[in-house]
Amino acid sequence: MSNTATTLSTATDAAASTAEAIAGAAETAGHATESAGMPQLDFATFPNQIFWLLVALVIIYTVLSKIALPRIGGILADRHGRITRDIEAAEKLKTQAVEAEKAYNHALIDARNEAAKIVAAAKADIQADLDKATAHADAEIAARAAESSKRIEEVRAGAVASVSDVAKDVAEAIVAALGGAADAKTVAAAVAARMKG
Amino acid sequence: MAGEAGNEALAFHPMDQFKVEPLFDVALDYFAVSNVTQWMGVTVLCIIVLFVLGTGKRAVVPGRLQSVAELAYSFVYKMVEDVSGHDGVKYFPYVFTLFIFIVFSNFIGLIPGAFTTTSHIAVTAVLAMMVFLFVTILGFIKNGFHFLGLFWVSSAPLPLRPILALIELISYFVRPVSHSIRLAGNMMAGHAVIKVFAGFAPLVLMSWIGVAVTPLSILAITAMYGLEILVCFIQAYVFTILTCVYLKDALHPGH
Amino acid sequence: MTGDIVQMGAYIGAGLACMGMGGSAIGVGNVAGNFLAGALRNPSAAAGQTATLFIGIAFAEALGIFSFLVALLLMFAV
């Protein structure tokens, strides 16, 4: 093996320095053939490697299975539990909030209904009062009107009476002035007849 | 040779990075502290920092390290649950250990100068054999003799079944081989290719042609490095998901 | 001289083995392309199948890695 490498480099030795350098680089690739091939197949190193591998594996397994894995599993379970709990709590709070809103809406509707009822009652009351007052006023107005018309009638009657009186007096006076002797009874009849006509 | 000194200093073998060497001047036997020990120790330390110190506060709102740890946990947990079913969750720590070890080894191996433990057949073969033996023994314990139904494809026509059984049997025993070589091969290939390109990078110091070659090779190293980051994760993922698939076969061999 | 011929054979073999990597590249492209085609037809089902996609890619890729390994073995270990 090393023979080839050396022959190769001796051959290239004669050539230009470039070729020489490449051969040197190539030699690095094919160089230490003096070392017995692949170190992986050097069986003398196997016991040492296997021994230390087993030691390392036993340490890792013990540390992981006794300390690390239960701890990490615990942390993850813890977190999972906490998240679930938090979500549950949030869910509960949400339902509570929804219930509270429902109750609030309910109360609002109740209050509204109550208010409407009160308004209606008040309206009815007012209407009744108003009606009563109107009726009262109407009655009063009617009474006053009746009284007024009565008085007007009286006045009118009084006026007619005084007109006939005045007419009688005037007629008597006119008759007297004309020189006639007026009989009160005749004058009254004539005036009444005239008044009628 | 003109660039002799530079050549010698910069010459390296693409496979040299995979050499296992003792850190101190001792023979490389079972307990010798080698670079394997060093980098596996780094891996273990990183895992402990992330998963033990990172989650130490048990915060409900996680910090950065804890987020990463939780992400890894849920990722593997979901994978095991989805692929192996609910009774596979019992073996989650085992699968998680494999995944975390491989993913950390792969990424730590990407640090320039680091040793990639998972690029060695010895390491991945042990991992794969552990999965294979675990799954096979578990299959026989859970299902008894029924476990062999895995090889007897009852949906196929009767004359074909023995042939299919042979094929299934072979593919079953090839599982650990492909399982381990896939991981080691991927890691080794990527790192070796990066090193090959790196071997061409110092050419500018030796010759004028390097003016063209050096930027190209540096660009190629960068591109390969990006690809390697992807591959590191995907290979760990594939190793783990295949473990889950084998686990599913062991738990429910009927289908 | 015999060593050189063995070496030459090993290198040629390594080069030939690398052709297998091209095959696996086609395979991986096939898997990913068909997945994409299916995913675009039915995007809602795509998310659940990514695991299958990666398993498919891994199997296709493994064969390419095997040929790469053969090449490496021929170059460095034979």
Q: What is the pLDDT of residue B11?
A: 65
Q: In the predicted model, is pLDDT for residue A3 greater than 60?
A: no
Residue B237, burial from CB neighbour count under 10 angstroms (0-12, 13-18, 19+): buried
Q: What is the pLDDT of residue B225?
A: 93
CA dihedral A7, A11, A17, A22 (to 10 degrees): -50
Q: What confidence tier does A197 reach under pLDDT thresholds 50, 70, 90?
A: low
Q: In the predicted model, is pLDDT for residue B120 greater than 50?
A: yes
Name every chain C residue with its beta carbon within 8 A of the beta carbon of B192. Answer: 72
Q: In the predicted model, is pLDDT for residue A187 greater than 90?
A: no
Q: What confidence tens digit (pLDDT) does each residue in B201-235 have?
A: 888 888 888 888 889 999 999 999 999 998 899 89
Instruction: Work out the average pLDDT over A180-188.
Output: 76
Q: What confidence tens digit (pLDDT) does each residue in A131-170 have?
A: 999 999 999 999 999 999 999 999 988 888 888 888 888 8
Q: What is the pLDDT of residue A166?
A: 85
Which range of A177-181, B1-5, B98-102, B175-179 scores highest in mean pLDDT? It is B98-102
Contact between C7 and A1 using a beta-carbon 8 Å cutoff:
yes
Q: With contact defined as beta carbons under 8 Å apart, do B85 and B251 qualify? A: yes
Contact between A37 and C3 using a beta-carbon 8 Å cutoff:
no
Q: In the predicted model, is pLDDT for residue B7 greater than 50?
A: no
Q: What is the pLDDT of residue B48?
A: 93
Contact between C4 and A33 using a beta-carbon 8 Å cutoff:
no
- Residue B236 or residue B203, greater confidence: B236
CA distances from B134 to A2, B138, B140 (A): 44, 6, 10
Look up residue B34 and give its DSSP letter: B
Q: What is the pLDDT of residue A90?
A: 94
> What is the percentage of chain B residues whose pLDDT exceeds 90?
36
Q: What confidence tens digit (pLDDT) does each residue in B20-76 have?
A: 888 887 777 778 888 889 999 999 999 999 998 888 888 878 888 899 999 999 999
Q: Which helix (H) or strand (E) holds A177?
A: helix A69-178
Q: In the predicted model, is pLDDT for residue A5 greater than 50?
A: no
Exposure pattern of C21-47 as b/e (b: 16+ CB <10 Å)?
A: beebeebbeebeeebeeebeeeeeeee
Count the neighbouring beta carbons within 10 Å of the beta carbon of residue B104. Answer: 23
Q: In the predicted model, is pLDDT for residue B12 greater than 80?
A: no
Q: What confidence tier does B8 reach under pLDDT thresholds 50, 70, 90?
A: very low
Name every chain C residue with its beta carbon within 8 A of the beta carbon of B181. Answer: 62, 65-66, 69
Q: With contact defined as beta carbons under 8 Å apart, do A175 and A187 qualify? A: yes
Q: What is the pLDDT of residue B6?
A: 42
Q: What confidence tier does A22 reach under pLDDT thresholds 50, 70, 90?
A: very low
Q: What is the pLDDT of residue B210?
A: 81
Q: In the predicted model, is pLDDT for residue A112 greater than 50?
A: yes
Q: In the predicted model, is pLDDT for residue A17 greater than 80?
A: no
Rounded to the nearest integer, the mean pLDDT of chain B is 86
Q: What is the pLDDT of residue A30?
A: 45
Q: In the predicted model, is pLDDT for residue A109 greater than 90?
A: yes
Q: For residues A5 and A93, give the distance between their C-alpha atoms in angstroms, rounded to a whole number.
A: 82
CA distances from B142 to B18, B85, B136 (A): 40, 15, 10
Q: For residues B151 and B198, give the distance between their C-alpha atoms in angstroms, rounded to a whole number.
A: 48
Nearest to B242 among C55, C61, C76 (CB): C55
Q: In the predicted model, is pLDDT for residue A113 greater than 90?
A: yes
Q: In the predicted model, is pLDDT for residue A106 greater than 90?
A: yes
Name every chain B residue with its beta carbon within 8 A of the beta carbon of A47. Answer: 29-30
Q: What confidence tens digit (pLDDT) does each residue in C31-77 have?
A: 999 999 999 998 888 888 888 888 888 888 878 888 888 888 888 77
Q: What is the pLDDT of residue A29?
A: 44
> Which residues 67-86 of A are in CB contact (within 8 Å) with B?
67-69, 71-76, 78-79, 82
Q: In the predicted model, is pLDDT for residue A10 greater than 50?
A: no
Q: In the predicted model, is pLDDT for residue C21 greater than 80?
A: yes
Q: Is the dihedral of CA A86, A89, A95, A98 positive or negative?
A: negative
Q: With contact defined as beta carbons under 8 Å apart, do B203 and B210 qualify? A: yes
CA distances from B226 to A192, B82, B121, B196, B231 (A): 148, 30, 24, 16, 9
Q: In the predicted model, is pLDDT for residue A35 greater than 60?
A: no
> Which residues 126-155 of B are in CB contact (within 8 Å) with A?
126-127
Q: In the predicted model, is pLDDT for residue B10 greater than 70?
A: no
Sketch the domain layout of chain C as residue ranges.
Answer: 31-78
Which of B178, B194, B188 lies closest to B232, judged by CA? B188
Q: What is the pLDDT of residue A4?
A: 46
Which range of A183-187, B101-105, C16-20 scores highest in mean pLDDT? It is B101-105
Instruction: Work out the average pLDDT over B80-108.
Output: 92
Q: Identify the residue among B177, B180, B186 best suited for mutation to test binding to C, counting C beta carbons within 10 A and taking the highest.
A: B186
Q: In the predicted model, is pLDDT for residue B17 greater than 70?
A: yes
User: Is the CB of A55 inside 8 Å of chain B's CB atoms?
Assistant: yes
Rounded to the nearest integer, the mean pLDDT of chain A is 80
Q: Length of chain B, please?
A: 255
Helix B121-143 to helix A46-63 angle (10° resolution) is: 60
User: Is the CB of B206 inside 8 Å of chain A's CB atoms?
Assistant: yes
User: Is the CB of A3 inside 8 Å of chain B's CB atoms?
Assistant: no
Instruction: Work out the average pLDDT over A22-47.
Output: 60
Which of B121, B109, B113 lies closest to B228, judged by CA? B109
Which residues touch B60 (CB under 8 Å, ≥6 apart)?
A75, A78, A79, A82
Q: What is the pLDDT of residue A40?
A: 80
Rounded to the nearest integer, the mean pLDDT of chain C is 86
Q: What is the pLDDT of residue B211?
A: 85
Contact between C72 and A3 using a beta-carbon 8 Å cutoff:
no
